[in-house]
Amino acid sequence: MNDTPNRTPLTADVERHLLDSVGVAPAEASPSDLLQAVSLAAREQLSRRWVASTAADRHAKARRVVYLSMEFLMGRTLGNALAALGLEGPAADAAQAHARTLEDLQAHEPDAALGNGGLGRLAACFLDSMAALGLPSFGYGIRYEFGMFAQSIQGGRQVEHPDPWLENGTPWEFPRPDVAWPVRFGGWVEHPQGPGGPAVWHPAGTVNAKAYDMVVPSHHDERVSTLRLWRAAAPAHIDLTAFNSGDYARAAEFKNQFENISWVLYPNDSTPAGRELRLRQEYFFTSASLQDVLARHMAEHGRLDNLHEAVAIHLNDTHPAIGVAELMRLLLDEHALPWARAWAITQATFSYTNHTLMPEALETWPVGLIQSVLPRHLEIVYRINHEFLLQAARHRPGDNAFLQRLSLIDESGERRMRMAHLSIVGSHKINGVSALHSQLLVNTIFSDFAAIWPERFTNMTNGVTPRRWLAQANPALAALLDESIGTAWRRDLDRLADLAPLADDAAFRERFGAIKRANKARLAARLQRELGVPLDPDSLFDVQVKRIHEYKRQLLNVLHVVTRYLAIIAEPQRSWVPRTVLFAGKAASSYVAAKTIIRLIHDVASVVNHDLRVAGRLAVAFVPNYGVSVAEALMPAADLSEQISTAGTEASGTGNMKLALNGALTIGTDDGANIEIREAVGDDNIFIFGLRTPEVEARRREGYRPGQIAAAHPTLQQVLDAIGGGLFSPDEPGRYRGLVDSLLQVDHYLLLADYADYVATQQRVDALFTDAAAWQAKAVRNVAGMGPFSSDRTIAQYAREVWRVQRGG
Ligand SMILES: *Cc1c(COP(=O)(O)O)cnc(C)c1O
């Protein structure tokens, strides 16, 4: 320690870690050395809190939530950890002592991108809220060696690169070499006591699941929660024979066969080998997690017949659904419980969240594949199904079609196991993720189940954590809120309602507007640097950021951009409201239509951005590699949030919440959580357009004719002709002919039906934007209305109504 004025204990810790842990002279530390040292200094403080929380829960034998999720889209950790510890200031000082800023260091931290999009990010927000509410909780998932692919754009096309986020290690995980569970696959099953009794499974192979823990700090107290991720390791003895004979290549290949289970998020599922690997992943992490839960329970309670009183296990979508059969197997075969008791415990322990209504997205597995990978589980599912269908038959005697629809096995073609059905039958509570979605579940895809068990179905509207999505992502707005309404919003987001009166306060609006302007300028500078596209921070920033998918209708947005482009050219003398349209999002690597949309966005951008006739009035940019960190930069800079899915397709959306929380106005359809956002912010503060869910259904029923819509609408026809005729792809005029033809002939997501209303609504957006005071007032009212969309509210509701868990000591 020397006597530099802003030396703090943290600075001393950082210097110590540079010397003792990183192994570098403090004067020579690079930004990534410093990142490492600051992270280690924060980590050691969290570690102490963690040990204390875990010991308290163990001592209290606390009832715990176990959240099983194939994906956790965590993003970066350092900023969150520092905020939770109240060390942001001292960490900035420590960086400054080396002539760096904290942002310089953080830019070197890779995102933990162990997820695709909304579902994985939801799991991450939920962990934050479970910690904030002090719930004794564990998240469980897979420690993928490679996360979500990194996206770059070459020649307007998406190129996928591996994401080796663990290449240089991570300071945020704690390996637990003592915690390893065998996970078995294949082989055959023996029934020494006859068909109904406990079975002996003779697997063909066994892989070890080894635990790596990540800390999940609370921002409000000293409690810490855990995300436990499993890595697949070949059993140590396995390669010895090959090694002894000097055949290292064969030994390595053998090892890989086991270890590839935790290599990569979403193996290519267009091949049988890729699909089988995915099934193995699902079973791998579910089995390891359940074995871990049972061992902890036995250590605390010494018996399993009260398992459901001590733990609530949640299935985040159907990826861990095989857990229903796995828990049964563990209770029956390894702990000798009778079937009826085991089944009662299982149903009382599990709960399940559905995330999609789209039939093609509902997970099923060929029975033949389950037979070869998980033979014992297949037997168990058959028996669950048999007893369930007997029970169901009593509800509607003689109705065979009813039973066929309910069955856990789809017999209509190649026999397949329906994982959503297994999840429902094995759970005591089932929920959707927005009011509309939960209602549609009960009325459509799960109506037969709801007829039998209406009391099991409920709604838990999604939320987002205000710590990451407001406090961290938008520090200037957070500071303005602290000053205006106090700091309590950070743990009680309903307090944002106190902002509402300030919407009418001109001085406040001015400060609020200045913060948005500064966020836009910062983003513009970054995109100038990274993409070479100049953007005008005074233009309206119109933002659509999310996975690229046909149902999310980025293409409808493009139709509007082209409409605007052609209109400006046709009437150059009119005063146009300047607009910058920003896109970001990844397309699944095998999703051809989504990749074509990315290419079209780039082709349109390149024509529009180089056309002097629209300069200063319209610009388009695609921000590559959408992920949590990119989202944190984009959300605070948005004026307009595009949430334009076909009504009835977006289960909830959470991007819509993050953007409104940062003061963007929504233009959206009557879909998912948009409906609840509209109720919360008021009809006058949101732009809703387009067909509603029942109207979408009616249009499809009547026989939808998109070609007729285009024929009756000259502007739309002109836009389609421009795209289909090659205006944006002069080097290959036919590039988008197929895309346009499919819109004219099929248009499964009804873009053309919603086009006219969408374009008219965009004109209302323009009109409002010219009145800065009116726009800012509505933006303030959006922030004020976002209280209900905190994931703290969602998790409190799960804790009360689904999990029945309480804050730990
Ligand atoms: C919030 C979020 C999503 C979900 O966005 P939607 O607009 O709800 O689809 C996806 N990816 C990332 C990185 C996010 O932060």
pLDDT, mean of residues 764-771: 98
* Averaged confidence pLDDT in the chain: 95
User: What pLDDT score was predicted for residue 728?
Assistant: 98
pLDDT tens-place string over residues 472-495: 999 999 999 999 999 999 999 999
**Residue 677, ligand 1, Cβ within 6 A:** no
pLDDT at 551 over 80: yes
Upper half-sphere CA count for residue 260 (Cβ side, 13 Å): 16
Q: Is 628 in the pocket of ligand 1 (CB under 6 A)?
A: yes
Q: How confident is the model at residue 2 (pLDDT cuts 50, 70, 90)?
A: very low
Annotated catalytic residue, options 76, 210, 421, 546: 546
> Other C-beta atoms within 10 Å of 361: how many?
12
| Per-residue model confidence (pLDDT) at position 1 | 35
Atom nearest to 653 CA in ligand 1:
8
Q: How confident is the model at residue 5 (pLDDT cuts 50, 70, 90)?
A: very low
Q: What does the alpha-carbon distance between residue 568 and residue 437 come to, in Å, rounded to a whole number?
A: 39
Give dist(CA 134, CA 130) in Å, integer: 6
Res 257: pLDDT: 83
Cα 49 from Cα 55, distance rounded (Å): 10
Q: What fold does the segment set 61-76+111-462+795-803 form as a domain?
A: Rossmann fold (3.40.50)
Q: Is 267 in the pocket of ligand 1 (CB under 6 A)?
A: no
Looking at the predicted structure, is the pLDDT value of residue 514 above 90?
yes
- Which residue in 552, 564, 599, 778 is the catalytic one? 552
In sequence order, the 6+-apart residues with CB closer than 8 A to the CB of 214 are: 74, 77, 112, 172, 173, 174, 226, 227, 228, 229
Place of tokens 């398992």: 307
Q: Report which protein residue has its CA nearest ligand 1's atom 4.
A: 118
Element (H, E) at 226: strand 224-233
Catalytic residue among 563, 654, 666, 761: 654
pLDDT band at 240 (very low <50, low <70, confident <90, very high): low
CA distance 149 to 153: 13
Q: Amino acid letter at 163?
A: D
Whether the Cβ atoms of residue 647 and residue 692 lie closer than 8 Å to each other = yes
Q: Which residues face 582 on adjacent strands? A: 543, 621
Answer for the pair 221, 134: CB distance below 8 angstroms, yes or no: yes
Mean pLDDT, rounded, for 29-41: 96
Q: Read off the pLDDT of residues 187-197 as tens digits, 9 standing for 90 and up.
A: 999 999 888 78
Atom of ligand 1 lying closest to residue 654 CA: 8
Q: Which of 576, 582, 634 is nearest to 609 (CA)?
A: 582
Q: pLDDT grade, residue 235 (50/70/90)? A: confident
As a whole number, mean pLDDT of residues 615-628 equals 98
Instruction: List, by residue range, all CATH 3.40.50.2000 domains of the chain.
Output: 61-76+111-462+795-803, 466-789
Which tens digit of pLDDT belongs to each residue from 346-355? 999 999 999 9
Question: Over 70: is that where the pLDDT of 6 sits?
Answer: no
The SS3 assignment for 179 reads: strand
Q: Which residues contact 377 (CB under 8 A, 6 or more apart)?
A: 283, 322, 325, 326, 329, 370
C-alpha 113 – ligand 1 centre gap (Å): 12
Backbone angles phi, psi at 724, to 5 degrees: -70, -30
> pLDDT per residue over 425-446, tens digit each?
999 999 999 999 999 999 999 9
For 466-789, CATH number out of 3.40.1160.10, 3.40.50.170, 3.40.50.2000, 3.40.50.720 equals 3.40.50.2000
- Give the pLDDT band (50/70/90) at residue 4: very low
Determine which helix (DSSP H) or strand (DSSP E) holds 227, and give its type and residue range: strand 224-233
566: number of Cβ within 10 Å: 16
Cross-strand pairs, 640 = 542, 665
Residue nearest ligand 1's atom 5 by CA? 655
- Render pLDDT for 681-722 as a digit per residue (tens, 0 to 9): 999 999 999 999 999 999 999 999 999 999 999 999 999 999
Distance CA 196, CA 417 (A): 21
pLDDT of residue 237: 61
What pLDDT digit, counting tens, does each position of 8-23 carry?
689 999 999 999 999 9
Per-residue pLDDT of 574-595, as tens digits, reads: 999 999 999 999 999 999 999 9
- Give distance in angstroms: CA of 282 to centre of ligand 1: 23
220 pLDDT tier (thresholds 50, 70, 90): confident
Q: Say how far apart CA 661 and CA 28 lie, in whole Å.
A: 41
- 320: confidence class by pLDDT, cuts 50, 70, 90: very high
In this structure, of 49-58, 286-295, 797-806, the range with the lowest mean pLDDT score is 49-58
- Atom 6 of ligand 1 has which residue's CA nearest to it? 655
**The amino acid at 169:** G
Q: Is 355 a catalytic residue?
A: yes
Give me ligand 1 centre to Cα 120, in Å: 9
Query: Where are any strands of DSSP class E within 532-589?
Result: 540-545, 579-584
Q: Within 13 Å, how many C-alpha atoms sit on residue 394's CB side?
A: 5
Q: How far is the CA of 358 from the centre of ligand 1 (A)?
A: 18
Predicted confidence (pLDDT) at residue 77 exceeds the cutoff of 80: yes
552 counts as catalytic = yes
CA distances for 280 relative to 67, 186, 522, angstroms? 19, 10, 44
Residue 574 CA to residue 758 CA, distance in Å, equals 21
pLDDT of residue 239: 56
What separation in Å is there between the alpha carbon of 310 and the centre of ligand 1? Answer: 33
For position 733, what pLDDT does the model report? 98
What average pLDDT score do residues 264-274 get?
84
3 state SS of 200: strand
Model-level pTM?
A: 0.97
| Cβ count near 360 (within 10 Å) | 5
Closest residue (by CA) to atom 8 of ligand 1? 653
Confidence of residue 242 (pLDDT cuts 50, 70, 90): low
Residue whose pair of structure tokens reads 């949430």 in the numeric block: 643
Q: What's residue 3's pLDDT?
A: 40
